[in-house]
Amino acid sequence: MMNDKELTQAIETLKKDSQRKFKQSFDLIVSLKDLNLKNPEEQVEFFTQVHSTLGRKRKICALVGGEMEDDAKKVFDTVISVLQFDKLQKKELKKIASEHEYFVGQANIMPKIAATWGRVLGPKGKMPNPKAGCIVPPKAPLAPLYEKLQKTVKVSAKKSPNIQVLIGTEEMPVEDVADNIKTVFSQIIHHLPKEQNNVKHGFLKLTMSKPVRIH
């Protein structure tokens, strides 16, 4: 596993060397080995949560029917009713897809969501995903889901043996960044068929920095 002292030093070094005029994000990069990604059973894709925060707000869009629209508007950043689907041009769909991290879909209109949004959200891996709790029944409580998604990261390695996930920002306390790294890294190991033996290297980087090895 990771050495706590070396991990803290890596975070502190990256923060110290950061000289950008914008808030940079920390990414955890994990290189994998001895996996046959052509075999679906060895591909990696799951959602996991960190304990505190990822350091920046995630915009979340809800795709709902009329019975959920009012409640959804109290919670989500963007709400689009099924009655609006046919009025949206492809250019508008693409813009909405690029501006939002997650999409929540009302369960009983998922066929309509798939027909309208599938060609745009599918290639981006942003279709409402039951693994992340993003397909909800009409009477589901929405505020807890929104808060959960603010702390949720998607981990994926399906075509390339490399995982890269947002883990925090440079403005976060070092301890929180370290905790996020250890939380997500342990989940990655848990989801690998040979656990530690499938990990080649682990790196940490800021948006504009070179990667620093941490494992």
pLDDT for the residue 20: 78
pLDDT for the residue 19: 77
Residue whose tokens read 């505020």: 143
Over the stretch 53-67, which tens digit does the pLDDT of each residue have?
Answer: 999 999 999 999 999
Amino acid at site 60:
I
CATH superfamily of 60-150: Ribosomal protein L1/L10, domain II (3.40.50.790)
pLDDT for the residue 52: 86
CA-angle at 95, arms to 93 and 98, nearest 5°: 110
pLDDT for the residue 83: 97
Residues of the chain with CATH 3.30.190.20: 4-54+151-213
pLDDT for the residue 67: 95
Residues of the chain with CATH 3.40.50.790: 60-150
Name the pTM for this structure.
Answer: 0.92
Distance in angstroms (rounded) separating the CA atoms of residues 5 and 12: 11
Question: Crossing angle of helices 174-191/4-17, nearest 10°?
Answer: 120
167: closest CA among 207, 208, 129?
207
Q: Residue ranges of the chain with pLDDT lower than 70?
A: 1
The class level of CATH for 4-54+151-213 reads alpha beta
Beta-bridge partner residues of 30? 163, 202
